[in-house]
Structure 1
Amino acid sequence: MDIHTKAKKTTSIVPLVTMTLLFFMWGFITCMNDILIPHLKELFQLSFFESMLVQFAFFGAYFIGSLIYFLISHYKGDPINKVGYKKGIIAGVLLSAIGCCLFYPAASFSVYGFFLSALFVLGLGFTILQITANAYVTLLGPEESASSRLNLTQAFNSFGTTIAPVLGGHLIFSLFLDNGKVTADSTRIPYLIFAGILVLLAVVINKVKLPSFSTEESENHGGLGALKFPQLKLGILGIFCYVGAEVGIGSLLIAFMSQKEIMNLQEVVSKNYLSLYWGGAMIGRFLGAISLSGLDKTKKIIYMVLTSAVVYLLVFSIVDLSFAQTSFFIVFIALNLLAFLVGKSAPARTLVLFAGINIALILISVFSTGPMALYPILGIGLFNSIMFSNIYTLAISGLGKYVSQGSSLLVMAILGGAIVPLIQGALADTIGIQHSFFLPAICYAYILIFGWYCMKKVQLKEGAKVHTNH
């Protein structure tokens, strides 16, 4: 029996709201890494490669945690199927809180390795959330609207990533400085606050009544059954490339903007532009939730235009930039809307379009200087928006009882967030920050290929149905 047939045909609102709050906090803390990188780079006098160990430790935990989950699933049976999604989500939140608490001793001893250890534990907690929460959201309603729901929750995840550079940057670069100097202590109080919020969130999730889902497992505990699906195998590399590209770009943006040939901006200013990059992902995900919903075309267009205007104003109110400094973003929002319309609410087709646009934006940025180099890179956030949710749902589509196992393999692929930024950091040290962006362009090229494969697969399936009907 397909797992979705056990879910309610209508989306469960309260559980979805609860998951949305979780995704928000999750995004906020993840994006704090982009603030930590320049902070720790200055504090410990690190190279770009060494500073990217922040992302390597954090996203490397995703790979280790997912690998452990997959092995347990293979030999002992799906853990989430045994304990339930709710307990799995709470376990992930609490482990993340422990990771935040570890920043206190790391800051007290002022040792870079301790910070990396804290980030690793934090990443392990988020690994459990990736495996449980993403799959859980897809189950909270009909399968055909799974991409829409996941885009909606991912939009609030992006709201967290939009606020983080401004609020987190203020906490670390301004509020908790020691007599105007950068010290390890400036991370101590902020991460204790994050830990407290996560514990509170775990209590809320425990109190809220969440519907339970389970899958039927075969006698050999599912084995390696998920890997028999080609869309999953290709999707694993797709997630690797997407997370690697998105994290690599975000991690180097502040350093990129400080270059004389780009904008020569200080961290206090550049953190606001970083918010635009992540804010673009938020706008795109809200639009994606509408575009991939079951609304008629006219309503979709109206809602998308209104939503993009409202969310842009929200982002503008968050960042400490003038309208003149952010007005260029309106052009990218208009391009994003157009791409959604051309995509015609088809996840694979939209993925192809967005990947192609991102490749073009990177190439413009690499071969330009000043604002023309900066603006296209910031616009990439808008077109990153639907990539994770669309790759994820395309990859697990039709997996049935292997959904959780497939999900753990896709989360394992978040290793891209550890590997790609590390390689890009090494490239930045050798060939310069600007030319290091060729690496994310290669990642988007693969995503385009994956989207094209899925698009052709859907077309063949529809063609077969028409032939059968005749």
Structure 2
Amino acid sequence: MSEINTNQHFETNEQQQNKNYLPALTAMTTLFFLWGFITVLNDVLIPRLKGVFDLSYTEAMLVQFCFFGAYFIVSLPAGLLVKNFGYKNGVLSGLVVASIGCLLFYPAVVVHEYWLFLTALFVLAGGITVLQVSANPYVAALGPEKTASSRLNLAQALNSLGTTVGPYVGGILFFGAAGSLTAGAASAESVKIPYLMLAAALLTIAVVFAFLKLPEINAHKEQNDCKAKDHSLTKAPHLIMGVVGIFCYVGGEVAIGSFLVNFFGEAHIAGLEEHAASALIAYYWGGAMVGRFIGSALMQKVAPSKVLAFNGFAVITLLLITIFTQGNVALYSVLAIGLFNSIMFPTIFSLAIKGLGSQTSKGSGWLCLAIVGGALIPLLQGFVADTMSIQDSFFIPALCYVFIAWYGLNVVKLSNRWQQLVSK
């Protein structure tokens, strides 16, 4: 009876504290929007640089390889930075590093060397990695654990707003009103100004955050989490499989987005020029935004694991339709994938860190490490596209979503094993 009263008292205090979390959540959503905008620019940058430097599909996918490869290298140091210096300092560090990456696009354009663009992307992604490691667990901690998935999906919906606007704006800035690579194909001059503007925006936000008072979160350092601390995270199956799930999801999502402009340019699909195809990508990411708002509300009532499994099977179906059909059917089916992609990253993330207690920041670093899937899966799909066809290459992300559907079906059992272990 006393245990029930204690829980009720805790919930009352938690609800009272949540009223003070709104300003912090509002501030964090600006970061989700901005890194979504920056990340999705790669989908438009790839065909731009492919035309400028006359690259194969595999060579063009080095853009994603360098960008998401930074997650693999930077995630663990970022996790240590957040653990030792806090979420706010992590955010500030990420903003400054990302702004430096944006500034490096200026010399890359002047020197006109592909490797310099890849270097700039690596530094930019390093900063975004620190932001990811800092912001995701911070947002998850700003309220009750049981609604962490819903809260992260709401924040990620703002991320999707950035990814929806990004391709349209990037298409205009990179390709111009003519909408083709024909004019000025030998120059990457159009890339310079957008990234300088982003550098200015990142530095401005860093200054604002430096003076912003954010609540200290101690939920991951409580004494009653000491049991979790006594066990290695390698014994947490829901986290380990979650790492694989993040690898598959980011790899699949990035690979699909990276090929959309070229896929829509295929004569038997739509025969669109680059600018028109770039505008259509907005519908792909716009579907993700709508899906996250729906998912945020739906997961207040339905178990996140069930929603994840359903969406995984939905994407597999849509990818098979994309592969085996032509024209508008293939076009609309691949665009519809965005709607079902929507809830996957924040849902996998929140399910994977559940119950990790004082080791949450470390687990977050592991999950962000898995974002390297965005570097490797598109490269593999690029190889298949070069050797077979773009349409056949979509089998690669389809395999990724098979694992995600499996994870959704089994994550509750995996999480229960961890809870049983730490309760002993």
Cα 1:224–1:102 change in 2 (3 A) is farther
- Alignment of 1:383 onto 2:340: yes
Cα 1:414–1:460 change in 2 (3 A) is closer
Cα 1:362–1:355 change in 2 (3 A) is same
User: For residues 235 and 460 of structure 1, what CA distance do their matches in structure 2 show?
Assistant: 14
C-alpha deviation, 1:286, in angstroms: 1.0
Identity %: 48
Query: Bigger CA drift: 413-422 or 140-149?
Result: 140-149
- Alignment of 1:367 onto 2:369: no
User: For residues 352 and 200 of structure 1, what CA distance do their matches in structure 2 show?
Assistant: 40
The one of 260, 280, 304 equivalent to 1:347 is 304
Q: Secondary structure at the match of 1:398?
A: coil
Alignment of 1:25-104 (within 5 A): 25-69=34-78, 78-104=80-106
C-alpha deviation, 1:145, in angstroms: 1.1
Q: Which amino acid aligns with 2:49?
A: L
C-alpha deviation, 1:109, in angstroms: 0.6
- Alignment of 1:287 onto 2:294: yes
1:392 paired residue number: 349
Q: Which amino acid aligns with 2:205?
A: L
1:290-317 superposed Cα distances (whole Å, 9 cap, x missing partner): 2223xxxxxxxxxxxxxxxxxxxxxxxx
Q: Secondary structure at the match of 1:379?
A: helix
C-alpha deviation, 1:68, in angstroms: 3.6
1:120 paired residue number: 122
Superposition CA RMSD, Å:
2.6
Cα 1:118–1:224 change in 2 (3 A) is farther
Cα 1:461–1:216 change in 2 (3 A) is closer
The one of 241, 244, 253 equivalent to 1:246 is 253
C-alpha deviation, 1:81, in angstroms: 2.7
User: For residues 418 and 46 of structure 2, what CA distance do their matches in structure 1 show?
Assistant: 46
Cα 1:171–1:403 change in 2 (3 A) is same
C-alpha deviation, 1:458, in angstroms: 7.3
**Is the 2:264–2:277 Cα contact (8 Å) retained in structure 1?**
yes
Cα 1:179–1:346 change in 2 (3 A) is closer
The one of 264, 268, 279 equivalent to 1:261 is 268
1:309-330 superposed Cα distances (whole Å, 9 cap, x missing partner): xxxxxxxxxxxxxxxxxxxxxx
Alignment of 1:264-343 (within 5 A): 264-293=271-300
User: For residues 414 and 312 of structure 2, what CA distance do their matches in structure 1 show?
Assistant: 18
User: For residues 178 and 240 of structure 1, what CA distance do their matches in structure 2 show?
Assistant: 32
**Is the 2:237–2:415 Cα contact (8 Å) retained in structure 1?**
no
Q: Which amino acid aligns with 1:203?
A: V
User: For residues 127 and 120 of structure 1, what CA distance do their matches in structure 2 show?
Assistant: 10
**Is the 2:175–2:181 Cα contact (8 Å) retained in structure 1?**
no
Q: Which amino acid aligns with 1:181?
A: G
The one of 130, 136, 160 equivalent to 2:162 is 160
- Alignment of 1:10 onto 2:13: no
2:7 paired residue number: none
Q: Which amino acid aligns with 1:15?
A: A
The one of 144, 147, 164 equivalent to 1:145 is 147
C-alpha deviation, 1:270, in angstroms: 0.7
1:195 paired residue number: 199
2:6 paired residue number: none
C-alpha deviation, 1:178, in angstroms: 11
**Is the 2:78–2:133 Cα contact (8 Å) retained in structure 1?**
no
C-alpha deviation, 1:84, in angstroms: 1.2
C-alpha deviation, 1:112, in angstroms: 0.2
**Is the 1:349–1:455 Cα contact (8 Å) retained in structure 2?**
no
Cα 1:249–1:235 change in 2 (3 A) is same
- Alignment of 1:205 onto 2:209: yes
2:113 paired residue number: 111
1:382-412 superposed Cα distances (whole Å, 9 cap, x missing partner): 0000000110011000101110000000000
User: For residues 67 and 265 of structure 2, what CA distance do their matches in structure 1 show?
Assistant: 25
C-alpha deviation, 1:233, in angstroms: 0.4
2:241 paired residue number: 234
1:225 paired residue number: 232
Cα 1:37–1:213 change in 2 (3 A) is same
User: For residues 96 and 144 of structure 2, what CA distance do their matches in structure 1 show?
Assistant: 30
Q: Secondary structure at the match of 2:18?
A: coil
C-alpha deviation, 1:457, in angstroms: 5.2
**Is the 2:142–2:217 Cα contact (8 Å) retained in structure 1?**
no
1:3-52 superposed Cα distances (whole Å, 9 cap, x missing partner): x9997752511110101111101100100000100000000000000000
**Is the 2:238–2:418 Cα contact (8 Å) retained in structure 1?**
no
- Alignment of 1:422 onto 2:379: yes
User: For residues 46 and 86 of structure 1, what CA distance do their matches in structure 2 show?
Assistant: 40
User: For residues 139 and 359 of structure 2, what CA distance do their matches in structure 1 show?
Assistant: 16
C-alpha deviation, 1:248, in angstroms: 0.1
User: For residues 92 and 155 of structure 1, what CA distance do their matches in structure 2 show?
Assistant: 21
Query: Bigger CA drift: 198-207 or 389-398?
Result: 198-207
1:181 paired residue number: 184
User: For residues 357 and 33 of structure 2, what CA distance do their matches in structure 1 show?
Assistant: 28
TM-score by structure 2 length?
A: 0.90
Q: Which amino acid aligns with 2:88?
A: K
Cα 1:114–1:459 change in 2 (3 A) is closer
**Is the 2:259–2:390 Cα contact (8 Å) retained in structure 1?**
yes
**Is the 2:67–2:122 Cα contact (8 Å) retained in structure 1?**
yes
Q: Which amino acid aligns with 2:204?
A: L
Cα 1:69–1:201 change in 2 (3 A) is closer
C-alpha deviation, 1:413, in angstroms: 0.1
C-alpha deviation, 1:460, in angstroms: 9.6
Q: Which amino acid aligns with 2:138?
A: Y
**Is the 1:258–1:266 Cα contact (8 Å) retained in structure 2?**
yes
**Is the 2:238–2:414 Cα contact (8 Å) retained in structure 1?**
no
Query: Bigger CA drift: 449-458 or 392-401?
Result: 449-458
C-alpha deviation, 1:69, in angstroms: 4.2
TM-score by structure 1 length?
A: 0.81
**Is the 1:225–1:402 Cα contact (8 Å) retained in structure 2?**
no
